[in-house]
Structure 1
């Protein structure tokens, strides 16, 4: 996969995972930490999602 294609793919993946996290938190009342744990979000990505989702609030 080319560098640009990989970047577009990763952006789409990250956006979908962010929507999944937000939906899970809203539908269950779980904290961001619990939702990330249940979706098996890697440690490397946790900071990214914390910043993105806290920015929206």
Structure 2
């Protein structure tokens, strides 16, 4: 298995990374929003109201 950051062999104590440094880099990328999950934004106002909810 190789480290997803630097492609070196992984180390058991830091798996799936090779070192604490690469693990910290990955965490930093998540925290700054560098990794994102794409979504399709829709306008919620176009959806019909559910029958079990009261209109606001």
Structure-1-length-normalised TM-score: 0.30
- The answer to which structure has the higher helix fraction is 1
Structure-2-length-normalised TM-score: 0.31
Q: Which has the larger radius of gyration?
A: 2
Q: Tell me which of the two structures has the higher relative contact order, counting C-alpha pairs closer than 8 angstroms and 6 or more residues apart.
A: 1
